[in-house]
């Protein structure tokens, strides 16, 4: 019986999402009013993420900064120079193919461009905020704004060309 109720509740939530219901506009199901959890219908914003992290982010061995939702604003949006952010996942084959390319760019730019990597599985709010739907996705930021987006596997020359257009 509880399994059937769980399936019914899941169906109600999915219908609520499709119909665009919100906590302020509850869904009526079989004569009962069902409130949809706000987390399922309200947009995620990265500004809601706060940080207590005050120490500077240290680059990895290859000069690539490990990014997270906790340090993203301080490290990327307030960088003062162009930033290449690689949105990746450990299980993603194409992401693993791009890792050496991203590391080469980090070592060859001589601190003119900051390069970071953000694991989308560990940081889903940041990925949702920047509408990352395919992996790998590389975003180029300048003055805190996304100025270019590269989706999928690409060459080092293509990425360098796009970075030079920004800087």
CB 83 within 8 A of CB 112: no
Look up tokens 């900064």; give the residue.
65
| Residue 160, helix vs strand vs coil | helix
Cα–Cα distance measured from residue 20 to residue 41, given in angstroms and rounded to the nearest whole number? 8
Task: Please say if 92 is a catalytic residue.
Answer: yes
Catalytic residue (one of 27, 64, 85, 95): 95
Catalytic residue (one of 13, 15, 89, 92): 92
CB 27 within 8 A of CB 47: no
Cα–Cα distance measured from residue 136 to residue 88, given in angstroms and rounded to the nearest whole number? 5
Catalytic residues: 92, 95
């Amino acid at each position: 019986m509880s399994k059937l109720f769980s399936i019914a509740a899941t169906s109600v939530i999915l219908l609520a999402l499709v119909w665009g219901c919100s906590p302020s506009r509850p869904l009526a199901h079989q004569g009962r009013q069902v409130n949809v959890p706000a987390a399922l219908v309200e947009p995620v914003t990265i500004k809601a993420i706060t940080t207590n992290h005050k120490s500077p982010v240290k680059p990895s061995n290859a000069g690539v900064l490990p990014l997270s939702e906790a340090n993203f604003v301080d490290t990327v949006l307030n960088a003062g120079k162009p930033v290449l952010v690689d949105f990746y996942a450990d299980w993603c084959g194409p992401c693993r193919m791009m890792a050496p390319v991203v590391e080469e760019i980090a070592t060859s730019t001589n601190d003119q461009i900051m390069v970071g990597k953000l694991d989308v599985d560990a940081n889903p709010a940041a990925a949702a905020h920047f509408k990352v739907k395919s992996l790998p996705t590389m975003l180029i930021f300048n003055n805190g704004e996304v100025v270019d987006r590269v989706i999928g596997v690409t060459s080092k020359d293509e990425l360098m060309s796009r970075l030079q257009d920004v800087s």
